[in-house]
Structures are given as C-alpha cells and as structure tokens.
Copies of this chain bind each other. A is one copy, B any other.
Amino acid sequence: MAKSKFDYVRQFEIDDPCLPNCWIVIRIDGKGFHKFTEAHNYMKPNDERGLGLMSCAAQRVMNEFKEIVLAYGQSDEYSFVFHKNCQVFNRRASKIMTNVVSLFASSFTMYWPRYFNTQELQYPPAFDARVVLYPSDENLTDYLSWRQADCHINNLYNTCFWKLVQEKGLSPAQSEARLRGTLSSDKNELLFSEFNINYNNIPELYRKGSVLIRNKELNGPEKTMTSNNEDKTRYSKSEQKKALASCLVLHCDIIRKKFWEEHPYILSDK
C-alpha cells in the first residue's frame, strides 16, 4: 500500500491567511433557531436561560482563545473579536472560525442542562460562522455598533409584537400588520400607552445584548460595573472564580465613545 502514490492530493489544500494588522471578527449565528426556540419552548420575546447559555458558551470560547479581546452577543448570534495582531493558528481563517464555532456548539450543548434544567435538548444545534476583517479601530467599533443597533431595533420590535400577541390576543399576522411602518418613537409610545411599559426600564440584557471583556484590572474601574450575577449561581464555585477572573459580562452601551474611553486597553496595541 504505497502511501506516496496518494500524497499528491494534499496539494489541493489551499491556505487562507487573514491579512495582518486587521481586527478579526468571527460572527457565529444559530442555524434555524426559529425552529429551535419553538422546539425548546423559549420564552418570547427573550429567554433569559437561552441568553445566559449563549454567554456561557461564549465565555468558554474566550477562556480558550486568549487573543479574543471582546465578544458581543445578542439573540442567537455572537461576535468574537481577535486582536488585530493576534497570531492564533497563524491567522488561518478556516482554522480560527471552525475551532471557535465547534467549541461554541459543544459548549452550548454541554452546558444546556445548567440553564434549562429538566427541559431536555431535543436535537444537536448547529451554528454557522464567518470571518470578517476590519482594518481600523473605527471600522471595528462601527461593526459592534451595527450589531448593538440591530439588537435594539429587533428587541423593540419583538417586545411590541409579543405584547400584542400575548396580552391583546392578536394573531402573529395581525400583530405584524399593526407594527408595519411604525417608527421607533411609535413603538415606544405603543408600549407606554397600551401596556404602561417604559422601554428604557426593560432589562439591559435585552436592550443592549451582552459584552464580554477580560477582567484584567480586578481592582480597576470595572469592578463598579454590573457583572452578570445570574450566571454566577449556575457555575460551580471553582469555575465561577475562573470565569470571573478572566471575563466580565456587561450589558452596557458600546455605541457611544464612553465605553471605549473607559476601557482603553481593549483596543490597545499588544
């Protein structure tokens, strides 16, 4: 059995290095999560357990890949930002995205019972992932702003949609028709006048999504910020400490400059 005779097929493997000095963003996205959330009785519009599990899996990824400087998640997606000078897997795009997405998927599956208790996982979930490169800090923060703006817009819509369905008894089609063409201000007004809800009082987890950063300065400015208390209770004591030591889960605004000014080390040169 001549191994060498077949060895030539390795030449068909093609390298896909990321351009140096660019921020590497891996964005993962749940595949068919509309069906998945139905099958697992997720609460609508937001399921705290589901969001907690996503952030738990994301933290596992951040613990593994030390060159991730920040991760941002909302709904069934998570973005991981590798430092522009990172050398992980020699910056090979396929290697990076498949390692990240597979670790995320196996973590999501493994930690499922911690968040969903007796509600059993019906089938293994899949996620897709893509690599996007951003040459400048501004491009990167604009990317993150784009995702957080998307979170806001979707959450405002979904909050209205489900209120109309759950509390006013509208069908999904009726609810959609009611909201068609409305502006953000209209939706805020709808929530206030019809449901007595001030949108700004809805938990930041839902309005802002989740921001994971390294907890490098345990005694620095971060310690006063709200960390994700609910997560703590679901971790074992030792895991908890490890997670806390390396990650903070925030639900704050990252569109305004303030966040970046308060955490200058995130984007700083390494």
Contacts and interface: CB of A to CB of B under 8 A. Distances in A.
A34 B232 CA distance: 31
A134 B9 contact: yes
Contact of A12 (B1, B28, B134): B134
Contacts of A190: none
Given A105-B103, A134-B9, A121 B110 contact: yes
Contacts of A5: 142, 145
A109 interface: yes
A51 B14 CA distance: 28
A186 interface: no
Contacts of A136: 21, 135-136
A180 interface: no
A235 interface: no
Contacts of A135: 19-22, 84, 135-136
A48 interface: no
Copies in the complex: 4
Contacts of A93: 94
A19 B133 contact: yes
Interface string A1-29: 11101111111111101011110000010
Given A3-B153, A103-B126, A146-B6, A131 B12 contact: no
B64 A149 contact: no
A98 interface: yes
A166 interface: no
A256 to B, nearest CB: 10
A107 B124 contact: yes
B3 A12 contact: no
B101 A3 contact: no
B152 A1 contact: yes
Given A1-B152, A21-B135, A126-B102, A15 B15 contact: yes
Given A12-B20, A12-B143, 12 more contacts: A9-B146, A12-B132, A22-B22, A31-B103, A94-B131, A98-B127, A101-B105, A102-B104, A106-B106, A106-B109, A107-B124, A136-B136
